[in-house]
């Protein structure tokens, strides 16, 4: 045990002290901050000047198009050719042309612009025009607009899970989000650090230090020391990312006074809401949804989620890590790893894709069940299922199988490893590998 600990220390320290590790650790939170700040900043820059010139030949929209903070209108007169010419000489965003118009059948409205008009601008203009036409139709048919607004209904459905003792508020968005985040982290962790194990083993082989090492320690100790040490590196990096990101994010929020970059969809929605004069309603909706989300987050079973995350995180990493180590031992250099990497990455990628497509839609279906029980796919798939609620028996079965799978792959890996690390200059195929399993060394 003492020797494994020494190896763990070396593997950990040499990696943590590398420049690439330090750069990655500090750069990632900064990039995250940049992702937040730059779009927000760009939005403030471009928001200043959207001016749309309007040529209204129908005369129905005079003074009806209200100027907004970031969208202003400038009325033109004369004929279309003339207006186009005037527009061309300005820096304005677009030229809105409204021909003589039948209110029952509004056709022929055009937007001319030098550049492509943004979707957002187009939708806002459409909404504003629609609203005005609606208004004029109401007037024409004698309906009171205020009365109509009063009659409108807003319904938001709350989903409730009827399982166990209490009824819980439950939000499908939050539930799947929690699972997917965990699954994504596990997926990348296995890949990033599994490959590091493989590289480490290849490095020892090409450096020829391996013979010195295994005249002091057992191959198994060397392999496990490396796997555990690299797990430590990964956890350190992950932890530092969480801490640094939260510091950076709080810092950025304080400095710029923004919550987060609004997504284009939110902006479009905002534009629509603005245009239809339903800001108030929309805002109420937003707060309701926010309350709903935070409610659902509060209702997630955090101890279970975090416990499962750690278990599947480590279990998945150990299961795949030892296989990556075995690949490293079987080859002489990294270019030869492809043929062996393939069967390892396939179950990982499949479980990732299936999580998005099948498991999220039907978290209790047969596909979800089997994939969350088979050790090679369970770390990712079970993580997606857990927030939806998984029977304890299934969870225990999955965990037990993962432990068994881990012991099994480690056994296979250590068998391949002890033969492979002393084997040079031989092209290895699967038949050869399977022979190694039963070599007497």
Partner 1 sequence: MSILKIDGVSKRYANHTALDHVSFDIPQGCIFGLLGPNGAGKTSLIRIITQITGADTGEIYFKGERLRPDHIKDMGYLPEERGLYKKMKVGEQLLYLAQLKGLTKDEARQRIKAWVNRFEIRDWLDKNIEDLSKGMQQKVQFIATVLHEPSLIILDEPFSGFDPINANLIKDEILRLRDNGATIIFSTHRMESVEELCDNIALINRSRKVLDGPVREIKNAYKTDTYQIIGNGKLMVLSPDFEVLEQHENHGVFRAAIRLLNNTSPNDLLRYLLDKVEIHSFVELVPSINDIFIRKVKEPQHA
User: Which two tokens mark 119?
Assistant: 């979707």
Q: Of 6 and 43, which CB lies nearer to partner 1 in the complex structure?
A: 6
In DSSP terms, which residues pair with 59 in a beta bridge?
none
* C-beta of residue 331 within 8 angstroms of C-beta of residue 421: no
Locus of tokens 């190694």: 436
Minimum distance from residue 219 beta carbon to partner 1 (Å): 9
Locus of tokens 């978290």: 363
Backbone angles phi, psi at 95, to 5 degrees: -120, 120
Q: Of 24 and 213, which CB lies nearer to partner 1 in the complex structure?
A: 213
Q: Of 14 and 429, which CB lies nearer to partner 1 in the complex structure?
A: 14
Minimum distance from residue 45 beta carbon to partner 1 (Å): 46
Distance, in Å, from the CA atom of 113 to the CA atom of 153, rounded to the nearest integer, reads: 38
Locus of tokens 């905002």: 270
**Nearest by Cα to 202 from 327, 320, 317, 344:** 327
Four-CA torsion 238, 241, 246, 249, nearest 10 degrees = -140
Minimum distance from residue 207 beta carbon to partner 1 (Å): 4
Can you list the alpha helix ranges (DSSP code H) found in 108-215? 119-141, 145-151, 172-207, 210-213
Q: Of 6 and 258, which CB lies nearer to partner 1 in the complex structure?
A: 6
Locus of tokens 């069967």: 343
Length of the chain: 441
Q: Of 14 and 246, which CB lies nearer to partner 1 in the complex structure?
A: 14
Residues lying near partner 1 in the complex (CB under 8 A) are found at: 3, 6-7, 10, 14, 18, 203-204, 207-218, 422, 435, 440-441
Minimum distance from residue 190 beta carbon to partner 1 (Å): 25
* C-beta of residue 12 within 8 angstroms of C-beta of residue 233: yes
Cα 207 to chain centroid, rounded? 39
Minimum distance from residue 217 beta carbon to partner 1 (Å): 6
Q: Of 4 and 399, which CB lies nearer to partner 1 in the complex structure?
A: 4
* C-beta of residue 120 within 8 angstroms of C-beta of residue 267: yes
Minimum distance from residue 238 beta carbon to partner 1 (Å): 23
Minimum distance from residue 328 beta carbon to partner 1 (Å): 15
For residue 200, count other CB atoms closer than 10 A to its CB.
Answer: 21
Minimum distance from residue 330 beta carbon to partner 1 (Å): 16
Q: Of 153 and 441, which CB lies nearer to partner 1 in the complex structure?
A: 441
* C-beta of residue 32 within 8 angstroms of C-beta of residue 245: yes
Q: Of 162 and 441, which CB lies nearer to partner 1 in the complex structure?
A: 441
Interstrand relation of 72-76 and 51-56 (parallel, antiparallel or unpaired)? parallel
Q: Of 212 and 255, which CB lies nearer to partner 1 in the complex structure?
A: 212
Cα 40 to chain centroid, rounded? 19
């Amino acid at each position: 045990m003492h020797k494994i600990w020494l190896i763990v220390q070396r593997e950990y320290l040499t990696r943590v002290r590398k420049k690439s590790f330090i750069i990655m650790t500090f750069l990632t939170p900064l990039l995250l901050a940049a992702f937040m700040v730059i779009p927000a900043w760009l939005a403030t820059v471009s928001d200043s000047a959207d001016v749309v010139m309007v040529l209204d030949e129908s005369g129905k929209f005079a003074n009806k198009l209200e100027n907004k903070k970031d969208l202003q209108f400038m009325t033109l007169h004369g004929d279309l050719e003339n207006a186009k010419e005037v527009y061309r000489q300005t820096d304005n965003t677009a030229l809105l042309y409204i021909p003589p118009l039948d209110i029952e059948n509004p056709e022929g409205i055009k937007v001319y612009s030098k550049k492509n008009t943004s979707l957002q601008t187009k939708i806002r203009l459409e909404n504003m025009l629609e609203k005005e036409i609606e208004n004029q139709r109401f007037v024409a048919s004698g309906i009171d607009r205020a009365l109509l607004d009063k009659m409108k209904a807003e319904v938001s459905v709350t989903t409730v899970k009827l399982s166990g003792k209490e009824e819980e508020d439950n939000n499908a968005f939050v539930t799947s989000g929690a699972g997917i985040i965990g699954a994504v982290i596990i997926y990348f962790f296995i890949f990033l650090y599994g490959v590091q194990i493989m590289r480490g083993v290849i490095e020892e082989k090409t450096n020829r230090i391996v013979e010195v090492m295994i005249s002091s320690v057992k191959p198994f100790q060397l392999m496990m020391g490396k796997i555990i040490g690299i797990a430590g590196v990964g956890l350190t990096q992950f932890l530092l990312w969480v801490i640094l990101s939260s510091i950076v994010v709080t810092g950025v929020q304080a400095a710029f006074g923004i919550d987060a970059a609004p997504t284009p969809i939110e902006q479009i929605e905002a534009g629509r809401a603005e245009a239809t004069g339903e800001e108030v309603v929309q805002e109420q909706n937003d707060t309701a949804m926010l309350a709903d989300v935070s409610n659902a987050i509060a209702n997630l079973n955090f101890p279970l989620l975090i416990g499962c995350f750690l278990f599947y995180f480590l279990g998945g990493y150990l299961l795949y890590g030892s296989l990556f180590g075995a690949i490293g031992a079987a080859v002489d250099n990294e270019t030869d790893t492809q043929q062996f990497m393939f069967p390892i990455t396939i179950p990982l990628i499949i479980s990732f894709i299936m999580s998005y497509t099948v498991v999220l839609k039907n978290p209790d279906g047969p596909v979800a069940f089997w994939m969350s029980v088979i050790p090679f796919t369970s770390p990712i798939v079970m993580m997606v299922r857990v927030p939806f609620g998984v029977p304890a028996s299934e969870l225990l079965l999955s965990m037990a199988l993962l432990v068994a799978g881990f012991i099994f792959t480690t056994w296979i890996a250590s068998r391949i490893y002890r033969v492979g690390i002393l084997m040079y200059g031989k092209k290895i195929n699967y038949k050869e590998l399977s022979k190694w399993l039963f070599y007497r060394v």
